[in-house]
Each structure stands twice: as structure tokens, then as C-alpha cells.
Amino acid sequence: SQTIHQWPATLVQPVGSPLSLECTVEGTSNPNLYWYRQAAGRGLQLLFYSVGIGQISSEVPQNLSASRPQDRQFILSSKKLLLSDSGFYLCAWTQVGGSPLHFGNGTRLTVT
């Protein structure tokens, strides 16, 4: 069966510091990968998605970037965090050809 791993579970970072969140999927190949964010009291917003290695689509302008160095690895990064980057970050995947989106357990990021 397929599983998705996301770490760390919680992170507290000062303003201006870098960020790297990692996500890996097991039990499938060539998945579509996604980064979503849930800000406090809001719904989930799509940040980035990737349909293959090195292929990244950005959905909203922001202080973040994403990379996909391997088929089942997806990384969310920032060079300098802002207070507004605080939120709950979720990695997710689907099978190519259509399937429901499946989420990891998320990372709670607090920028202080």
C-alpha cells in the first residue's frame, strides 16, 4: 500500500531564517505531488504541484519554492521566512490518471 511521510511534525523558526520541509511517498511510482497550506481559520490552499521530476507549477505568488529532485520526493523551501508563512503545510499525492488526493500528516510551522 502507498504511504506518505512528511517531516518534521512541528517547527518553530525565526523570521528571516531558511526553511526546508521534506515529503516522500512510498508504494507508488510517478505520482503527482502537491504542497498545500492551511492558514489559521482558513481552508486549504494549493501552493505547488509537480507531475514529474524537476517539473514544478506554482499556484500562488509567495515567499516559498518547491523542488522535486527524485520521483517520490517533494521539498518545500524558503530562503527567508516571513511571519505570514506561519501555517499548517501539507504534502499530498495522487496517481496519474486521476485518484483522490491523499495527504500526509502535515507540518505545523510557526514563524516568530
Partner 1 sequence: DQQVKQNSPSLSVQEGRISILNCDYTNSMFDYFLWYKKYPAEGPTFLISISSIKDKNEDGRFTVFLNKSAKHLSLHIVPSQPGDSAVYFCAASAYPSNTGKLIFGQGTTLQVKP
Q: Does 92 bind partner 1 (CB under 8 A)?
A: yes
Which span sits near partner 1 by CB under 8 A: 14-22, 68-76, 77-85, 102-110? 102-110
Residue whose entry in the numeric block shows the C-alpha cell 500528516: 105
* Whether residue 31 has a cis bond before it, omega within 30° of 0: no
Residues binding partner 1: number (CB under 8 A): 27
Least spacing, CB of residue 45 vs partner 1, in Å: 7
Q: Does 61 bind partner 1 (CB under 8 A)?
A: no
Angstrom distance (rounded) from CA 81 to CA 11: 12
| DSSP-based three-state secondary structure for 107 | strand
Site for partner 1 in 1-60 (CB under 8 A): 6, 9, 32, 34, 41-46, 49, 51, 59
Among 7, 13, 71, 108, contact with partner 1 (rule: CB under 8 A): 108
User: What does the block give as the cell for 64?
Assistant: 516559498
User: What does the block give as the cell for 86?
Assistant: 506561519
